[in-house]
Structure 1
Amino acid sequence: MKIYKANRRGFINYLLIGSIILPIIIFFLDKNTFMEKPFILLPLLSPLVLIFWIYFDTFYKIENNELIYRSGFLRGKIKIPTIKEIIIGKTMYSGIKPALAKNGLIIKYNKYEEIYIAPINNNELISDLLKKNSEIKITE
């Protein structure tokens, strides 16, 4: 079992910083209200928890002839023999995207299904997938 960490560059970092700064700014705008009723901050902190969960829980691994992906609440498995094509360096803007960055991999599998992932090292994941299924078509 080999784990491939997700690439964490791009918009997710700005989203994370913004979701940390916003509750702090709102707290300092009216300290007295938040000191009396601190539970008012909960609606502002709940998106922060979700973003942290996705940020730290996104990874991919190859195990038992399957590519397993996980990104917060998005989880799944793709049987490696069903993978038909991998497109390198493109970004998919619709569909299933358990990824945090651009310029990752679009994996086409089964008949018409596709998924977008973005590991730190695209080439390492591709070479490990090719070891399991040498018939995968690689497109750049």
Structure 2
Amino acid sequence: MTFKSKKDGLFSTIILGTNGFLILVLIFLFSNKTIDKNDVFPIIILLATIIFTLWLFFGTYYELSKESGLVYHCGLIHGKIKLERISEIVKGKTLWVGFRPATSRNGLIVKYDKYNEIYISPQSNETFIKKILELHSAIKITE
């Protein structure tokens, strides 16, 4: 089952506001009409930054299955965690430091192995927890 990532106002404002500013910079560069070879590298960097951040924003999702476990995708970042490795899920908290393939606050902190944790933000925490418990009922859920 696939779960899209929830997008909250803070994250949306930061990503879309930053991209809007970068697009304005690009428009200013192109409206100048005197683009020389020294402008090519900054234009490529700006375009790459815009594309990458939009990819992170719109391309973040999670998959759950018995065979693969929890699979996360966030732009270039992707990976999988077998369900047997997950020991606990902390609900409704935000992980400010650490590994965060997420686009929202108040998501889920997934603790696995001995000391590892990952923060995800499915659109519905309850639906995600219900599905993961169907697949592996030994996972502890903490509020």
TM-score under structure 1 normalisation? 0.87
TM-aligned CA deviation for residue 84 of structure 1 = 0.8
Q: Percent identity?
A: 38
CA contact (8 A) 2:88 2:142 kept: yes
For the residues of structure 2 that align with 1:60 and 1:87, how far apart are their CA atoms? 17
After superposing on structure 2, the runs of 4+ consecutive aligned residues of structure 1 that deviate more than 6 Å are none
Match of 1:8 in 2: 7
Could you tell me whether the CA contact under 8 Å between 2:63 and 2:70 is conserved in 1?
A: yes
Report the equivalent of 1:23: 23
State whether residues 87 and 138 of structure 1, in contact with CA within 8 Å, keep that contact through their aligned partners in structure 2. yes
Tell whether 2:88 aligns with 1:85.
yes
Q: Please say if residues 65 and 132 of structure 1, whose CA atoms lie closer than 8 Å, have aligned partners that are also in contact.
A: no
Contact in 1 for aligned 2:104/2:121 (Cα 8 Å): yes
The equivalent residue for 2:140 is 137
Q: Is the 8 A contact 2:101 2:119 kept in 1?
A: yes
Q: Please give the secondary structure, in 2, of the residue aligned with 1:111.
A: coil
Q: Distance in 1 between matches of 2:126 and 2:135?
A: 14
Distance 2:75 2:120 in 1: 13
Q: For residue 33 of structure 1, what is the amino acid of its counterpart?
A: T
By how many angstroms is 1:88 displaced? 0.5
Shift of 1:25: 4.3
Counterparts of residues 95-114 of structure 1 (less than 5 Å): 95-114=98-117
Distance, in Å, in 2 between the alignment partners of 1:102 and 1:6 is: 11
* Corresponding letter in the other structure for 1:3: T
What secondary structure does 1:131 align onto? Answer: helix
Moved more, 12-21 or 22-31: 22-31
Structure 1, unpaired ranges of 5+? none
> Within 2, Cα distance between the matches of 1:135 and 1:54?
32
Match of 1:121 in 2: 124
CA deviations over 1:95-115 (Å, ceiling 9, x no partner): 211001100000111111110
The match for 2:59 is 57
